[in-house]
Amino acid sequence: MVANTRGKIRSGPVRPLNLPTQLEVIQGSDKNPKSIGIPLHVDVTVILDSWHIRTRWWRKEEIINRRYFECLMQDGRRVTIFLDLEKSKWFHQRT
């Protein structure tokens, strides 16, 4: 018999990248973020952009329903956060 020349298939671990991390956000009267704890609280100077994503509505337990905000902070940083509308929790989104 001819020996199997194919090498051993190695499937290493796959790790997700840029997973959202939960953070604390103080909202203003208009429900928009006013101050973000990253981890110390820094005030939002201006909201540069905001958008809404709703997908996987066909999977009952994995519905993605997020409201994104791209904020310019008082210390000059640009931070993207979202409010998970299903869980009512704020997350920091790295891209």
Partner 1 sequence: MKISCIFIPHFSIKCEWLRKYALRDRPILIVDTRGNKNIVKDWFPDNLGIQTDMKLQEALTKINNPYILPWDVDYYELCFENIINFLHQVSTTVEYVRPGLVYFDLATLYYTYRTDEEIIGFLEFEVSRFWKVNIGIGNSKLSSYIRAFIGPSAQMGKDCTVTDLQWGKLSIDLLPISLGNKVRLHQFALHTFGDILSLDIRSLQAQFGYEGKLIWDLVSDVCAEFLNPISTEESVHEKLSFQDPVVNLQVIITVVELLLDRALSRIKSFGLMPRIASISTEGFNGGSWRKKYSFKEPTADKDKIFSRIRSSLEGVSFSEPLESIKLGLEQFTGERGFQGSMLSQVRKHDQLDESIRQLKANFLEDVPIFKIKEVEPWSRIPEERYALVQYVP
Q: Which residues bind partner 1 (CB under 8 A)?
A: 10, 12-20, 53, 55, 64, 93-95
Nearer Cβ to partner 1 (10/59): 10
Least distance (Å) between residue 2 CB and partner 1: 26
Question: What does the radius of gyration of the chain's CA atoms come to, in whole angstroms?
Answer: 20
Least distance (Å) between residue 55 CB and partner 1: 7
Nearer Cβ to partner 1 (32/93): 93
For 68-86, letters b (16+ CB in 10 Å) and e give ebbbebeeeeebbbbbeee
